[in-house]
Each structure stands twice: as structure tokens, then as C-alpha cells.
Copies of this chain bind each other. A is one copy, B any other.
Amino acid sequence: MPTLRNYTYDEITVGQTATYSKLIEERDVQLFAAVSGDVNPVHLDPAFAATTQFESCIAHGMLSGAVISAAIAMELPGPGTIYLGQSMRFRLPVRLDDTITVNLEVIDKKDKRGFVTLDCNVFNQDDQLVVTGTAEVMAPREKLVIERPCLPAVRIGD
């Protein structure tokens, strides 16, 4: 059975890294529009997007934020992490069918409260840096090895 496991505060070292990748498909952009309410046509309407400087549909910037947050929650530190803050710079657009990879690196630990700071760099499949940022989290104190829930099944369209 697939499991989810975390790194506790004590197990985490400065310099530790993790990666998390996701293919950004049209359905992801549609789902992000549905869940956020951002139905701007630059994301959803190829004919409109062709009239913009982007020339084709681009993903919502914050969809990369969602993938960063998943990297932190699923990989490093993983389950039990409390998300305290996130900064992001959106450097290049993410396009449909891009595969983005989040590279996390622990850059600081604060023993007293269990705070961990992570550099977050997101690259596309051409190794272009599309988003940079920094996350601050409270790392779990307790080791968790839990059953990995399935992704909710979602269908788009009537």
C-alpha cells in the first residue's frame, strides 16, 4: 500500500533537498479556474490568448504556487507540516503541457519553535526558472507514516 511519510524537525538538515514534478494539462488549468473562480480567457480561451503577449493559453501563476505547496506537504517536510508563509516571484509563464519541477532546499532551521525555511525554485522542462520563492513552515515533531489517500476523481464537462 502506498504510504506518505514525513521528515521530523530533528531529521531535517540545512542543505536537504527534495523535488516534486507535475505535468500541467489543460484540465489542471480548468480545475484551477473552477476552484479559484479566476476564469480569465488568457487561461481558458485559445483564441483570446492568441491576441495577448503570451500568444497561447498560460496557466494561472498561482497554480505553480499550488504545486509548491504540494511539494512541501507531500515531500519535505511532508505530512504534519504547518504552513506559515510563502513568497513567490513569477518569472516566466507556464504553458499547457509544460512539466514543472519544484526544487526545495532547506536553508534555515530555528530550533526553539521548529521553524524551517525552504528555498523554492520551479523549473519547466527546458530548465527555465519559472518561479522562485521562499517558504516558512513549522516542521512536524512526530514521525508519520500513513496510508496515501487516492487523488479525488474529478471529471470536467457536463
Contact = CB atoms under 8 A, between A and B. Distances in A.
B152 A36 contact: no
A12 interface: no
Nearest to A60: B69
Interface in A109-158: 146, 148-158
Interface residues of A, number: 55
A45 interface: yes
B156 A40 contact: no
A66 B62 contact: yes
Contacts of A74: 37-40
Contacts of A107: none
A42 B146 CA distance: 11
Interface of A: 4, 20, 22, 28, 30-42, 44-45, 48, 52, 60-63, 65-70, 73-74, 79-80, 83-90, 146, 148-158
14 contacts: A4-B39, A20-B37, A35-B35, A37-B74, A40-B73, A45-B149, A48-B146, A60-B69, A62-B62, A86-B90, A152-B157, A153-B156, A154-B155, A154-B156
